[in-house]
Amino acid sequence: MRDAGRIAAEALLRVGEAVKPGVTTAELDRVAKEYIIHCGAAPTFLNYNGFPGNICVSVNEEVIHGIPSKKRVLRDGDLVSVDLGATYKGYVGDTAASFAAGKLSEAVQRLSDTTKAALDAAIAVAVPGARVGDIGAAVQSLCEARGYSLVREYSGHGVGKALHEDPSVSNMGTAGRGVKLRAGMTIAIEPMVNAGRAAVRVLPDGWTVVTKDAACSAHFEHTVAIMPEGAVILTRAEGD
């Protein structure tokens, strides 16, 4: 899990460095694919339930599951959410981050910063004996206090030999409720935070999830291991 997580994290780092105005989302897909394969791993998302890309790239009002495309050219001020997985020796690392193409508006930067902070807050409470509701409550309270809304239809999840395992790890919740976290569990925590309202819909491509009100959305994700001393981030790049 550590090896898979590190490969995923390093791939995400490289994709983040490639995010710039004028670059296509297909180019980001190529960067991730080449790195993951170079490491002897496989891009987990390719063909997952028929997904046609190696990674998901979701721009601005796109929340998750955006399909990389040669036709989608990034523009200055775009918020580019990249989600990817690497499968190595049978184990999966799953991670995501929102990157700036050029300079973000202050409002979008604040949304992105808040989403990252929500992930950090959630990881901090993911200790043995805590419950998945503690994670949801940590994300929800921080984001709602800043006037944002949380996507309800998609959640974090257990991750290990498969990309999606039990338990479901919602970004909304009540502290003290839900499945108890135990040392040795590996889970993906992934707040999806909307600047506007919570409602989302799926585009006719069958994949891309967008906000109904077309307001911007941000996404950060880490695969973590619940250890006796607390959560350890597995999707961390070398030296990060």
CA–CA distance, 207 with 25 (Å, rounded to integer):
15
Tally of CB atoms within 10 A around 145: 9
Q: How far is the CB of 20 from Mg ion (least distance, A)?
A: 25
Asked if 188 is part of the footprint of Mg ion (rule: CB under 5 A), the reply reads yes
Decide if 85 contacts 44 (C-beta within 8 A). Answer: yes
Q: What does each C-alpha distance from 240 to 6, 13, 36, 237 come to in angstroms? A: 10, 10, 18, 5
Q: How far is the CB of 41 from Mg ion (least distance, A)?
A: 16
Asked if 97 is part of the footprint of Mg ion (rule: CB under 5 A), the reply reads no
Which one among 31, 94, 131, 193 touches Mg ion, defined by CB under 5 A? Answer: 94
Candidate segments 146-154, 176-184, 189-197, 228-236, binder of Mg ion by CB under 5 A: 189-197
Q: How far is the CB of 15 from Mg ion (least distance, A)?
A: 16
Q: How far is the CB of 103 from Mg ion (least distance, A)?
A: 28
Candidate segments 11-19, 21-29, 61-69, 90-98, binder of Mg ion by CB under 5 A: 90-98
Q: How far is the CB of 74 from Mg ion (least distance, A)?
A: 23
Q: How many CA atoms lie less than 13 Å away from 167 in the CB half-sphere?
A: 15
Q: Show the tokens assigned to 200.
A: 């989302």
Tally of CB atoms within 10 A around 158: 19
Which of residues 72 and 222 has its CB atom nearest to Mg ion in the complex?
222
Candidate segments 52-60, 88-96, 108-116, 120-128, binder of Mg ion by CB under 5 A: 88-96
Candidate segments 109-117, 119-127, 129-137, 190-198, binder of Mg ion by CB under 5 A: 190-198
Task: Write the interaction track for Mg ion spanning residues 16-45; mark x where CB under 5 A is met and - where it is not.
Answer: ------------------------------
Decide if 207 contacts 65 (C-beta within 8 A). Answer: yes
Decide if 216 contacts 61 (C-beta within 8 A). Answer: yes
- At residue 29's C-alpha, the angle toward residues 27 and 32, to 5°, is 110
Asked if 223 is part of the footprint of Mg ion (rule: CB under 5 A), the reply reads no
Report which DSSP code applies to 49: G
Tally of CB atoms within 10 A around 129: 10
> Sign of the CA dihedral 189, 124, 91, 24?
positive
Task: Write the interaction track for Mg ion spanning residues 42-61; mark x where CB under 5 A is met and - where it is not.
Answer: --------------------
Q: How far is the CB of 99 from Mg ion (least distance, A)?
A: 17
Q: How far is the CB of 190 from Mg ion (least distance, A)?
A: 5
The residues binding Mg ion (CB under 5 A) are 94, 188, 190
